[in-house]
Structure 1
């Protein structure tokens, strides 16, 4: 074969190879586009404001006991691998981040395909480069991947108080949040949240963005921005301490011996994410923490003023936090020796009548665990886990059905504490929330 023919054939072969590579690359891009479009479709379907719950179909309110429950539903949970998860195995991470289910549940979900790790829309390769991972806890998580969990969900109930809209401006919506209801989807909650209820019942308000935190079992004023820009602007004011926050609490005993002189508690706080309680240096057990944990403590300051003594031996206190640590007011009141009267996590003892009714209702429809172990001395534990007949197998797709037992959470889903946010104010503006019923003699 002549040199000219060899060159011509080589050129033809190169052109064919290039066309093949181009076709493969085009197919790969099309495939990736489809995968990303499918992923975007999942995120869009999970958007509460794009697809809000149906108020008549998706909630059931039992007025006799004052409980709101959700109709069960299937849900496709998906999120990117967070930096703190990198290096952990899939099931280990889920068991740590979402401890309401045992690790055996997540292992079975991984084996069945309900729990998976994805990369570019496909099952992520394991450490040996294969898509099949033989380790019982699944593959090791890497940044850029995403986790996906197909679940049949029964959300925990909440006390059936409405989210009251107090004020609407061009930038902010002020509402009164009922206790026991989270602000936004978190953990086991999605529809039984403030954002979901407003998305369903007040579509005229549009998409809303939380500006600040308000714990699930705390009631009162909640500010929501009507745009991400407004939310960022309000958060910056909060971080710069250009906002004043005021709460009212009902505590054990006569606060500061009925002296209206302000008392300020300056005590750095940490937070035990596993047990969901604040930590301080003189708290029993805190001294056992390592130096790294102690260094994570952050400065915290709260001012308290006695308002009124009540006939049952409790008193009302105005609380003004200058910083925003988790459970700050609750912890600082405990440090001062005046725990919120019904806050059992920090030394309270009283059961509010609404909570007592809620617990009795839960006892009627839920089975109490025979094997529970409690982190604190509680009289009752009401939990949501696997059906009794499936306890050994851990294969139930529905860990929150009414016929369930559990291994150890406390009865906190329906626990409303006597702490209420009453006012947010800044230069030239103020939002105020009515006082709660328990603040009256």
Structure 2
């Protein structure tokens, strides 16, 4: 075949090619730098009274719910959107958008580009800012109080319940730690470390920008101890491996999962069993982290075939067609409608179901930061005389275990 006939034929990617590997490393570094920049921007901005007044909470059946409210999303055009119509992007990139509804929203001025009224045929260009006003619905979370474990002039440490994200992400905004505490008068808190939505336990927040920056620059978390309940009988063990990040990206879901991979970052976990429960064939263990990679404990336990018992991502098959970004299945909406149904709002017309699961058996139990110890009470599932067999059976019934 001559060169002319070769035009337009894409060569298969050689994943062992050194240039490809270097490009991949550079891409990951850029993503990490972008994440850090975003975190720094969040450090500067507190929560205004105007934001607090957007909505109110109400409580039902042990859950905290948010009254739907109007909110304008703003996003810069992504590379893959350039040259496409606004309708094409909305219909093919966003979960809840169809062509008819998108066109109606454009006609009502609820979707704009660069703060200007547009047509359905408008093409997206580089540097465009897209605005989308929505009637925003948030998922419920546990209504457990955010217990203050310790408070100083610079920091506040809380015992975060599972189900609550730390800061706004995805569908969550007011049902996050930052906003819940803002409603209680703490309007300028800034988290100084991470804790997953489905994980409970110690969360440290700085009261000022200066305290947050000092923590990141000078303070050291000397010891991180987590409690976990895992499948099978586990003896004392140590896991050292490299963990990398894999992203699932399509219209239905946008989620990152971690896995053992050669090009990942090396990390170290130590697991010390506290007791074994024969009835459920589970072990409660203390996990000590020598590093802090995302999902590190969950990935390491999966790698030694002792996953956290009710982990929907690392202990079961992940079905992106039925799950949210944490692998959680949804059931029917279980609350009462305490707001006026908004005409044209897809979620008002077709209420999304509530999660069937609000946490996993993973708890940030004790942190030693410099010379100060932060510790919570034991979660119920980590206590030897508590029967959790019904919870485990319910999880197993709804998932295909791996």
Instruction: State the match for 2:134 in structure 1.
Output: 151
Q: CA deviation at 1:176?
A: 1.0
Native 8 Å contact 1:278 1:328 kept in 2: no
1:54-203 superposed matches below 5 A: 58-62=56-60, 65-78=61-74, 81=76, 85-86=78-79, 88-89=81-82, 99-102=94-97, 104=99, 109-110=105-106, 112-118=108-114, 122-123=115-116, 132=118, 135=121, 138-142=123-127, 145-201=128-184, 203=185
Paired residue secondary structure (1:280):
strand
Alpha-carbon shift at residue 403 of structure 1 (Å): 4.0
Among 314, 320, 334, the residue aligned to 2:288:
320
Deviation at 1:254, TM superposition (A): 1.2
CA distance in 1, matches of 2:289, 2:94: 30
Could you tell me which of 331, 343, 367 is aligned with 2:299? 331
Residue of structure 2 in register with 1:382 after alignment: 331
Relative to its length, the structure with more helix (as a share) is 1
Alpha-carbon separation, structure 2, partners of 1:255 and 1:402: 48
The aligned counterpart of 1:306 is 273
- What is the aligned residue count? 320
TM-score by length of 1: 0.63
Deviations 1:73-111 (CA, angstroms, capped at 9, x unpaired): 1112335x38xx346346677678x85424646565445
* Unpaired stretches in structure 2, ≥5 consecutive residues: 1-41, 334-341, 385-402
2:401 is aligned with 1:416: no
TM-score computed with the length of structure 2 as normaliser: 0.68
Q: Give the superposition deviation at 1:417.
A: 0.5
Change (3 A) 1:299 1:232: same
- Is 1:427 equivalent to 2:370 in the alignment? yes
Cα 1:132–1:375 shift into 2, 3 Å? closer
1:228 aligns with 2:209: yes
List runs of 5+ in structure 1 lacking aligned partners.
Answer: 1-42, 124-130, 283-293, 350-371, 385-394
Cα deviation 1:358-411 (Å, max 9, x = unaligned): xxxxxxxxxxxxxx94479x9954389xxxxxxxxxx974343374368xxxx7
Report the CA distance between 1:112 and its aligned residue.
Answer: 4.0
C-alpha offsets along residues 269-308 of structure 1, whole Å, 9 cap, x if unaligned? Answer: 21325353524257xxxxxxxxxxx85x333332222222
- Distance of 1:198 and 1:147 partners within structure 2: 30
C-alpha distance in 2 between matches for 1:164 and 1:230: 21
1:210 maps to: 191
SS at match of 1:434: coil
**SS state of the match for residue 297, structure 2?**
helix
Q: CA RMSD in A?
A: 3.6
Alignment equivalent of 1:248, drawn from 227, 243, 263: 227
The 3 A distance-change label for structure 1 pair 76 and 176 is same
Q: 1:231/1:47 Cα in 2 relative to 1: closer, same or farther (>3 Å)?
A: closer
Asked if the contact 1:177/1:222 (under 8 Å) is kept, the reply is yes
Distance between the aligned counterparts of 1:174 and 1:134, measured in 2? 49
Bigger share in strand:
2
Structure 2 distance, partners of 1:413, 1:159, is 12
Provide the C-alpha distance between the structure 1 equivalents of 2:152 and 2:91, rounded to a whole number of angstroms. Answer: 42
